[in-house]
Amino acid sequence: MFNLILFGPPGSGKGTQSENIIAANGLQHLSTGNLLRNEITNQTPLGLKAKTFMDAGQLVPDEVVIGMVDNFMNAHPRANGFLFDGFPRTTAQCIALDALLQQKGTEINVVLALEVGEQELVKRLLGRGATSGRSDDTNETVIRARIKEYHDKTTAVATYYAQFNKVVNVKGEGTVESIYANLKKEIDARI
Ligand code: AP5
């Protein structure tokens, strides 16, 4: 198995770049943001609980997200590997993910961290908010709250994996194609 974390702040291009990476490498895409939005659309109890946090730009509690990831991985027992997008987002989620992977006899191979300046992040997310209907993209205060959560809680994920020398920084500004070419180089060197 090959397991990759695509890491970066809100709007850094994780979802955009995931599409090419999963297509090229046959990985299973695990986006906790997408899973949570599906739960909201289906009006499940989990979705109703998560919506309050997401609309405020705050992280959903660890136990909710970890349970959802466990279910998703168990539902894909024959996956060649997973691309984790938007997960893990806290040190507790890193520890839980390592344990889940260890149970399956595998591990995280690399963390590719997209680097994008804050002004560009806000511009991208407000741009998408104008058309996508994603409620957490339409309000700049909520976008800035998401970026703050990233600095306060999620940068710890890079620190956690850096202790195992698994983090590679990749410039996340430029064209989608040029960024993908750099990500591909790092993946091809390891897969
Ligand atoms: P989530 O859905 O994960 O959102 P996010 O991290 O805020 O990230 P985005 O999807 O907004 O950005 P992205 O990096 O994927 O960029 P994208 O490719 O979309 O999470 C939403 C919420 O769910 C969280 O706030 C939290 O409440 C909750 N949640 C999710 N996971 C959780 C977890 N593990 N624990 C707790 N809570 C969790 O691109 C963004 C825009 O930029 C697009 O319009 C795109 O077209 C554009 N773009 C992309 N690349 C470029 C480029 N190179 N140049 C110009 N524009 C570009």
Q: What is the CATH number of the domain that holds 111?
A: 3.40.50.300
Return the percentage of the chain with pLDDT > 70, whole number: 100
Q: Is the peptide bond before 45 cis (omega within 30 degrees of 0)?
A: no
pLDDT of 133 above 90? no
pLDDT digits (tens, 9 = 90+) for 45-65: 999 999 999 999 999 999 999
Paired strand residues for 30: 84
Assigned token pair, 150: 């990233």
| For residues 124-147, average pLDDT | 93
Ligand 1 centre distance from Cα of residue 34 (Å): 10
If you average pLDDT over residues 75-98, what whole number do you get?
97
Task: Name the pLDDT band for 145 (thresholds 50, 70, 90).
Answer: very high
What is the residue range of 33's domain? Answer: 2-188
Contact between 50 and 60 under an 8 Å Cβ cutoff? The reply is: yes
Are 145 and 38 in contact, with CB atoms under 8 Å apart?
A: no
- 163 C-alpha to ligand 1 centroid (Å): 25
Tokens of 140: 């700049």
Q: Where are the beta strands (DSSP E) in 37-146?
A: 82-85, 110-115
Number of domains in the chain: 1
Question: Tokens 């995280």 label which residue?
Answer: 108
Distance 45 CA to ligand 1 centre (A): 23
Q: What whole-number distance in Å separates Cα of residue 167 and Cα of residue 115?
A: 12
Interaxial angle between packed helices 62-74 and 45-55, expressed in degrees from 0 to 180 and rounded to the nearest 10? 130
State the Cα–Cα distance between residues 51 and 31, nearest whole angstrom: 16
What pLDDT was estimated at residue 96? 98
* Residue with the two structure tokens 């770049």: 17
| Amino acid letter, 9 | P
* Burial class of residue 136, CB neighbours in 10 A (0-12, 13-18, 19+): buried
| DSSP code of residue 70 | H
CA dist., res. 93 & res. 45, Å (int): 21
Average pLDDT, the chain: 97
With H, G, I as helix, E, B as strand and everything else as coil, classify residue 15.
helix
Which residues are the active-site residues? 14, 89, 128, 134, 146
In this structure, which amino acid lies at residue 175?
T
What pLDDT is stored for residue 148 in this prediction? 98
- What is the distance between the terminal CA atoms of the chain, rounded to a whole angstrom? 9
pLDDT of 12 over the 90 cut? yes
Q: Is the pTM for the entire model greater than 0.85?
A: yes
- Among 60, 82, 173, the mutation site with the greatest number of ligand 1 atoms within 8 A of its Cβ is 60
User: What is the rounded distance in angstroms from the CA atom of residue 31 to the CA atom of residue 121?
Assistant: 19
Give the per-residue pLDDT at 134.
Answer: 87
